[in-house]
Amino acid sequence: MKRLFAPLLPLAALTLVAGPAQAQQARELRLGVFPNVTHAAGLVAINKGLIQKELGSGVKLVVKEFANGSQVNEAFAAGAIDAAYVGPGPAMNAFLRGVPIQVYAGAANAGAVLVARK
C-alpha cells in the first residue's frame, strides 16, 4: 500500500512549505474528489484512511467534493485545493489553460489521475 500512496508524500511537503500564507494555516492537504464510482480509487483511499495514514498525524486531510472537472480546475487556479483525482480530459484542459498543475500518478487504468498544484 505504501508504494501506492508514495506520490502523495511530496504533495504534503509542498503544501507545508509552499508559502507564508499557507504556513500560517493549519498543516493540511486539501484534496479534491468526485463523489462517484468513476473515481473510486480516491474515495476508497479516503474512506479506508489510507491517505491520512500516509500523511501522518502532523497533516490534516481536508476532502472537497466537486461535480465536474471544470470546478476542479477553477479550484486549482484559485489556490483552493492542493491535489485532486481527475480524469484525463480535465487535466488536459487545465494544462492548456495554463493552470499550474502537475500529474503525479495514474490512479486507474484509462481513468482518473492524481494532479497537484506546482
Task: Locate the domains of the chain by residue range.
Answer: 2-13+25-117
Least confident residue range of 4-8, 24-28, 37-41: 4-8
Band of pLDDT at residue 111, cut at 50, 70 and 90: low
pLDDT at 10 > cutoff 90: no
Q: Give the per-residue pLDDT at 20.
A: 41
Q: Is 66 exposed, middle or buried (0-12, 13-18, 19+ CB in 10 A)?
A: buried
- 0.85 surpassed by pTM: no
CATH class of 2-13+25-117: alpha beta
State mean pLDDT over 37-43: 83
pLDDT at 103 > cutoff 50: yes
| Most confident among 38-47, 58-67, 81-90, 92-101 (mean pLDDT) | 58-67
CA 52, 27, 88 angle in degrees (round to 5)? 60
Gap between the Cα atoms of 19 and 38, Å rounded: 33
